[in-house]
Structure 1
Amino acid sequence: MAQERNVSPYTYIQTRPDAVQSKTIPCPYCRQDTKVPHPSSPVEEWAGQIKASIIIQGLIDTYRSEVAVPGTSSPCCMICQQLGETTPGVLWCAECEVILCDKCVKIHRVTPTLLNHDLCDLSSRSKVKRRIKCTEHKSNRVEFHCQDCGKAACQTCCIIYHRASKTVVTIESMKPGMKETLMEKRFGMVKRLKVRSKKVDIRNEELQSNARITDLPVQNIRLICLTAINKIKQKETQLLDELNNISQTYADQLRADVKLEEIEMQMYRQHCEFIDHALVSDC
């Protein structure tokens, strides 16, 4: 079963309550169900026992082994790397799936069991057919497929685990059927892609049409708001002028009343002074 990148099995399973309940896990890639190893155990225990796809794990192991020599962009020799050395690699052995330095190439070419291995330069290794190694038996290639179990296996796995299986075939013999299935899937994907593309085009046209339809109402709303704002401002000016006139008239009236009172007060003062003068003169 393939695991999602950077997501632990436990984290992924926790997002699928149906998987916890049914004790089966849907693969996030192929959507096929995988039976739980130990259904009676807690989720956090059996989730950690689920291994990555044998093919994906092989690719990961190969990628991790191609460590560059410090200070350069060239990958180091995988044989020397196991000895703790970082020697620049020069050739690639497709059969052993290892990068070799000059020294290891010479040893490789004189070893009897390795004489017939094809070596190529590093720039061409991506074009060479990649052979997937068994994750349990590291020295064996995955060459068989157990149709009863639905699992890929090496020769040793077939002898140990799939002895009772009725149908074990070579992966090579499955290629025509696999290619046909992949072509059918690709054809279906292309059809779905066209349907989705058409829907996207329709939605984009609807978006553009909607933008054109709403453009005029938006302009009308803005014009109405602007007109209303202008009228409100005119009314504000009119009311302020009227209030100012009323206030000014009232203020003028008050000033006139104050002036009259001041005149009368002055007259009263003069009368008081006259009376005071008469009383003092005893006239």
Structure 2
Amino acid sequence: MATAKKPTENHLTCVICTEVFTDPATLQCHHTFCKSCLLKYTSTQPEAVQAKSIPCPSCRQQTNVTNPDSPVEEWVSQLKPSHVIQGLMDDFGPGTKAVEEHVCSVCTKQGKTTPATSWCSVCDVVYCEGCLQLHNVMPGLCDHEVAHLSDHTKTKVKHRFMCQVHRDKPTELFCKDCKQAICTICCSIKHRACKDVDTIESMTPLVKEQLTSKIERLRINMAARNNNITRRKSTIQDVKSNSQTFKDQVMKTRDTVMRAIIRKEKQLLHDIDKATDEQLHELQADIQSQEIDLQMYQQQYDFTANAVTSNCEMDMYAVYESMGETFTENRDTDNRPAAGRVVLTHDLDKLSQAVDELQLGEVQVVHGVSHPGSFPVLHHTIDCKEDVDGEDPYLYDVTVLTGDSSAKMMVVADYDNKRLLTYYTPNFKSFHYQLKCSNGPWQIAKLSESQIAVSVPDSKEIVTVNVTPFPELLSIIKTSKQYYALASLSPSQLATGTYKQSHSVDILDMTGRILRSINTGVIGSPDFIHVTRNNNLIVSERDGKSLVCVTSEGDAVFTYTPTGDRALSYPLGITTTSTGDILLVGYDSHKVIQLTESGQFVRAVLTQQDGLICPRGVCLDADGLLYVTSGRYVKVFKFCPR
């Protein structure tokens, strides 16, 4: 059976010195340390000393000090332990062992084991009868509160609330200006300039009420963290499963590629054998022909030699006459073409390049919105309403990231609820998370496949966020103007839309510094900006009747101002296709229209008949799916051929 741990092992040990607390002090982050340890640590942090705050050695959170102009030693000395730590120190801290064993603390120091009969709540020491008498006659100690120890009472006496500065004085007052419990001496010396000082008795109900409320908030936060942990654990399992699925697909694709390579190898070896056999057959036939000629020449040689050596003139002339007729044919010449040779063309550079360019992914033909004759089909709908939402989501913009895997991550800007929502869809299972903003987020600019920038106009901020798929705040860029529209012009530059300025678009660096300003003509307060594949800027404005396209230097490209049935009414979100076509959202017309890259009308891609109600944001993903925010929903469409 396991031995129960003592409270000092878990709750009363300083993480700096790893010993039981000596004069503990609790910071605003609720971490507790020995005052001496905390003083030594703070003294080694010049930035914190300069900032007039005490850094937490555990979480680095800063604790504001009451008197910044006083020495660091006084900063730490004014800290006090939490009520929980103080209670544990009272019951289990140093000095309680002698109380529990009823041995006089004074006699113990002299090597004696005299039974204790009383306990002083101010000195926090137990005394025998003799030592108690000495205690009671000493000046400054005679008014201490002393409790009698019986066989049934072991130190369960309430510890008096004593002043942290004047330890022999009870804490009777609370300074609301300094938020500090003090004694009457502290009040008359250090808090004379404070305007709001009340009694401990009056403050205790309020403090208890506030602590009770804090307990409830902590309980809610703990429940929320537990839920987040549960979701993340579920996500971890799904990510692992998803990863294994992708790995299996890669290995399956690799096997397919290897089988194709082996087939090509077999075909190439077969071609070599076939070409070699043909060459050998040709050479054997040529040898046979040469052997026949050789036999013929041998016969002529023997016949001619016999005629010459026979001394018979008739035989000689007969051979001579026949030689004249066949001399041309029997010349020792070989006009036959040389036999062919097998050659293997083996371009290693080309082969290496082909291997480098080899993609083990699946190739699919996708019909996008720009495909002639394609029509939209609702793929799925995402409801962004949360049970705890006070208001329905006001979805202003949407974008889709792919991260380090093929799983998609959708990010939505919810203006009214002041948050970013991320949706992770591996294996078509959705998990969503959120990141609170200081105010309502407006437009989302994709910086990479895992990072975004978001405009927060009411706070004059642009925030950068990493999506993993958990949204993690990377930085807050403070701006001099209230920017609504936002797009990424380059990895180091942002295009932003200002409010009713003569030059309505500013180009910023990633610190918020204005590099240059651009005049967009008839549009004075852009709501949305989009950067095209040619690095041109397309801007829209809710109150405008036009769509304007300019270069990144401010030169006009086109202005689209239709009339009649096609007249623009409350134009908002903008995106472009891989072919350069422009998709523009019409909020009042409940449409998404398609224009050519040069600003010519093509068609209405989506209308109210497709379920669009007051659309705002729009984006396309790598697979050609179209995402549109409509009310509290994100509607996703795929395009099919007719």
TM-score of the two chains, using structure 1 as the length reference: 0.55
- 1:150 aligned partner, one-letter code: K
- 1:25 aligned partner, one-letter code: S
Shift of 1:65: 5.8
Shift of 1:171: 1.6
5+ residue gaps, structure 1:
39-45, 236-283
- 1:93 aligned partner, one-letter code: W
Instruction: Name the residue aligned to 1:12.
Output: 42
Instruction: Name the residue aligned to 1:25.
Output: 53
Instruction: Name the residue aligned to 2:68.
Output: 36
Aligned pair 1:78/2:105, yes or no?
A: yes
What secondary structure does 1:37 align onto? coil
Aligned pair 1:140/2:182, yes or no?
A: no
Determine if contact 1:94/1:131 at 8 Å carries over to the other structure. no
- Please point out which of 142, 158, 181 is paired with 1:152: 181
Cα 1:105–1:35 change in 2 (3 A) is closer
Instruction: Name the residue aligned to 1:179.
Output: 208
1:236-262 Cα offsets, whole Å, 9 max, x none, are: xxxxxxxxxxxxxxxxxxxxxxxxxxx
1:116-166 Cα offsets, whole Å, 9 max, x none, are: 843245985564321133344332222222234433222333344445544
- 2:53 aligned partner, one-letter code: I
- Please point out which of 181, 184, 194 is paired with 2:223: 194
- Find the aligned partners of 2:81 and 2:116 in 1 and give their Cα distance: 26
5+ residue gaps, structure 2:
1-24, 266-642
Within 5 Å, give how 1:38-77 maps onto structure 2.
Answer: 38=70, 46-53=71-78, 55-56=80-81, 66=95, 74=101, 76-77=103-104
Instruction: Name the residue aligned to 2:129.
Output: 103
Shift of 1:199: 1.4
Cα 1:121–1:96 change in 2 (3 A) is farther
Determine if contact 1:134/1:142 at 8 Å carries over to the other structure. yes
What secondary structure does 1:132 align onto? coil
Greater per-residue helix proportion:
1
- Find the aligned partners of 2:143 and 2:236 in 1 and give their Cα distance: 65
Based on CA coordinates, which of the two structures has the bigger radius of gyration?
A: 1
Cα 1:15–1:80 change in 2 (3 A) is same
- 1:36 aligned partner, one-letter code: P
- 1:137 aligned partner, one-letter code: H
Determine if contact 2:120/2:126 at 8 Å carries over to the other structure. no
Higher relative contact order (CA 8 A, sep 6+): 1
Cα 1:186–1:47 change in 2 (3 A) is same
**Cα RMSD (Å):** 4.6
Determine if contact 1:13/1:25 at 8 Å carries over to the other structure. no
**Stretch of structure 1 that moved more, 127-136 or 100-109:** 100-109
- Find the aligned partners of 1:52 and 1:110 in 2 and give their Cα distance: 29
Cα 1:32–1:125 change in 2 (3 A) is farther
What secondary structure does 1:5 align onto? strand
Determine if contact 2:162/2:170 at 8 Å carries over to the other structure. yes
What secondary structure does 1:200 align onto? helix
Aligned pair 1:206/2:235, yes or no?
A: yes
- Find the aligned partners of 1:221 and 1:75 in 2 and give their Cα distance: 74
- 1:9 aligned partner, one-letter code: L
